[in-house]
Amino acid sequence: MSLKSPLITVMTRAAFKAARHLKRDFGEVENLQVSRKGPADFVSTADLKAEKILREELERARPDYGFLMEESGNSPGKDGEQRRWIVDPLDGTSNFLHGLPHFAISLALEEGGEVIAAVILDPIKDELFTAEKGQGAFLNDRRIRVSGRRRLDDALFATGIPFKGKRGHQAFLAELEQLMAVSAGVRRWGTASLDLAYVAAGRYEGFWERELQPWDIAAGILLVREAGGQVSEIGGRAMRLDSSSILASNSHLQRDFNKLLMDAATTA
């Protein structure tokens, strides 16, 4: 995709415009106004500003499309919700607010219940992940593929750790204990969209997490699939945007990875 499609061009233009403001706010993070959405769950003026920019840019380019946005919720489009943007303006807000340079803008276009285009932008590392259905996955215009590793003890995994106010602490610890015993390591970087993008790029062999929202995973699901990977619920059921869990990996490890997590559920 050295020549980007009009759709990806619209999405990347919006993402880069919002990213300029995020980078500026990141440099002055101590001055941002922050409010609490729930226990250990925050929203800043940076989130709200980025979301406003993204909506304006996407709406200007595709005025009939609907929106599902992290901060402002669901807005039906003029085409009967056949197409809607799924937007996370700042995935990794806690990282951002603590001065950790690992966060992203995540954009996906859903059509008839299926994600058909995806953009994930890491503004600090200047890494742009893009995918369209049937067209492959790319990092800064270079084709990417999932890892080819076949053994769990060679594999590096990513996850999200439930924090205050989230359920499943004991279940997660059982899963982590099982995976620690057989893998090359587990990472928790706090930005699900980038975790999935890294699976697509072969940096991780797999990713799992529970209780994520559609804007956390929509773009990443398409990236992994277009990079040759597999995505399902934990347990193997078909993945949906409203699924309660996600498991992504390459095709060699998907079965063993899933079995390990399911075995952990019996010991939790």
Residue 126's domain is classified under what CATH number?
A: 3.30.540.10
Q: Report yes or no on 88 lying in a domain.
A: yes
The last residue of a domain, from among 93, 128, 144? 144
Does one domain contain both 113 and 235?
A: no
d(CA 130, CA 219): 9
The predicted structure's pLDDT at residue 73: 78
Predicted local distance difference test score (pLDDT) of residue 38: 46
| 16 against 34, higher pLDDT | 16
12 & 140 share domain: yes
Which pLDDT does position 182 carry in this prediction?
Answer: 94
- What pLDDT, in 10s, does the model give residues 157-171? 999 987 776 776 888
Task: Assess if residue 1 is contained within a domain.
Answer: no
> Among 212, 238, 247, 225, which Cα is nearest to 115's?
225
Range of the domain at 14: 6-144
Q: Determine the Cα–Cα distance for residues 259 and 268; give it in Å rounded to an integer.
A: 15
92 lies in the same domain as 203: no
Q: pLDDT-derived band of residue 26, with 50, 70 and 90 as boundaries?
A: confident
Asked if residue 93 and residue 47 are part of one domain, the reply reads yes
Asked if the model's pLDDT at residue 1 lies above 50, the reply is no
Q: Are strands 156-159 and 206-210 parallel, antiparallel or unpaired?
A: parallel
User: What single letter denotes the amino acid at residue 11?
Assistant: M
Up-side HSE of residue 154: CA atoms within 13 Å toward CB? Answer: 9
Residue 162 in domain: yes
pLDDT confidence of residue 80? 63
How many structural domains does the chain have?
Answer: 2
pLDDT value at residue 40: 42
Whether residue 156 is predicted with pLDDT greater than 50 in this model: the reply is yes
The fraction of the chain above a pLDDT of 90, given in percent, is 74
Angle subtended by helix axes 169-180 and 254-267, to nearest 10: 130
Give the residue-averaged pLDDT of 200-215. 96
Question: Is pLDDT above 60 for 13?
Answer: yes
129 pLDDT band (50/70/90 cuts)? very high
Higher confidence at residue 42 or residue 56? Answer: 56
Same structural domain for residues 70 and 178? no
- CATH number, domain with residue 221: 3.40.190.80
Bigger pLDDT: 29 vs 187: 187
Taking the CA atoms of 101, 130, 202 and 260 in sequence, report the sign of the dihedral they define: positive
Rounded mean pLDDT, 58-84: 86
Share of the chain above pLDDT 70, in %: 91
Locate 181 and state its tokens: 């015993």
Residue 206's Cα: distance from chain center in Å? 13
Q: For residue range 79-122, list pLDDT tens digits in order.
A: 665 899 999 999 998 899 888 999 999 999 999 889 999 999 99
> Do 157 and 109 share a structural domain?
no
Task: Indicate whether 34 and 128 sit together in one domain.
Answer: yes
Low-confidence winner among 35-49, 139-153, 230-244 (lowest mean pLDDT) = 35-49
Q: Compute the average pLDDT of residues 229-250.
A: 95
Q: Residue 138, SS3?
A: strand
Domain boundary among 96, 119, 144: 144
Structure confidence at residue 59 (pLDDT): 95
Do 180 and 112 belong together in one domain?
no
- Indicate whether 67 pLDDT > 70: yes
91 with 211, same domain: the answer is: no
Secondary structure class of 14 (helix, strand, coil): helix
- Looking at 115, 144, 173, which one is the last position of a domain? 144
pLDDT of amino acid 169: 85
Mean of the per-residue pLDDT values for the chain?
90
- Cα 31 from Cα 39, distance rounded (Å): 22
Rounded CA separation 235/258 (Å): 6
